Amino acid sequence: MEAHEPRIAKHVYAGLLLAWLLAFAVEAAQISRWASALSAAGERLDSAGQTLSAQSRETAAIAKQVRGISSETEYLGNLPNILPQDKGYLRTQKAVSDEIQGLRRKLGRFIAGGLHIVIDAKTNKLYLKKGFKLLWQADCSVGRGGTLVDKNTGQRWEFVTPRGEFRVMGKGTNPEWRKPDWAYVEAGEPIPPPEDPVRLVQGELGAYVFNLGDGYLIHGTKDERVLGRPASHGCVRLGADDLKKLYETVPTGTRVFIY
């Protein structure tokens, strides 16, 4: 029996060696897979790094452009309200201010401290002034704009308040309104003859009226809720209290400036 023990031991050692080699091969294969995965991850990281680097360069370029635009904006913002004047010159804010003062002096001599009416058609405000001194102001309504066309005759009316200088050519109390052709066209009614008494309407213009010429008036309104907004067909409308105050204050011949 003792003669066979070395032979058995050799078989055992051979089996152990084979098992170790198999285990080593498995581990080597696993290590190889890990190495491949690590290499792939490294490649992805390298690609991501390159992309990030490119994005960083692009971001830096954009930041540089933004800084340039900010510098230009700051430069322009610090300019003293430059406006073009003659070729090769710049007009500064001080020059504009001096010019405005000059215009005010000229206007002061023009109105000579007299009483006058100013109508701001953009804000629908009427101002009564003596020279440059504001006596009082009121909401008014100027022309609402728009055009009306008579389909039968082709005649057109534009409902705007004209701009410029006017005068109070006359004023009166309890005026009658002679309805113009456009009022009938707008209502879809037949147009009566020019002198037909049916055209005369009482109470439409309020208690007082100022004639500015060319058919334009300053008068009252039946709906004071629209004052402060463009709502008329071209005349200037005032509330009853302000219209009375204006009538009692402003004489015939008073200048009226509409802008």
Taking phi first (over 0 means left), then psi (-120 to 50 degrees means alpha), and beta for anything else, what does residue 21 get?
alpha
Beta-carbon contacts of residue 102 (< 8 Å; ≥ 6 apart): none
* Mean pLDDT score, 230-251: 98
Q: Is the pLDDT of residue 204 over 80?
A: yes
Q: Is the pLDDT of residue 15 over 80?
A: no
What pLDDT band is residue 205 in, cutting at 50, 70 and 90? very high
- Total number of domains constituting the chain: 3
Residues 69 and 85 placed together within one structural domain of the fold:
no
Q: Which domain holds residue 39?
A: 2-77
pLDDT tens digits for 223-239?
Answer: 999 999 999 999 999 99
Q: Is the pLDDT of residue 5 over 60?
A: no
| Residues 57, 59, 64, 65, CA torsion sign | positive
CATH number at 188 reads 2.40.440.10
What is the token pair recorded at 204? 């439409």
Looking at the chain, the whole-number percentage of residues with pLDDT higher than 70 is: 61
Mean pLDDT (the chain, rounded): 82
171 and 210 Cβ atoms separated by less than 8 Å = yes
Q: Is the pLDDT of residue 26 over 80?
A: no
Residues 108 and 229 placed together within one structural domain of the fold:
no
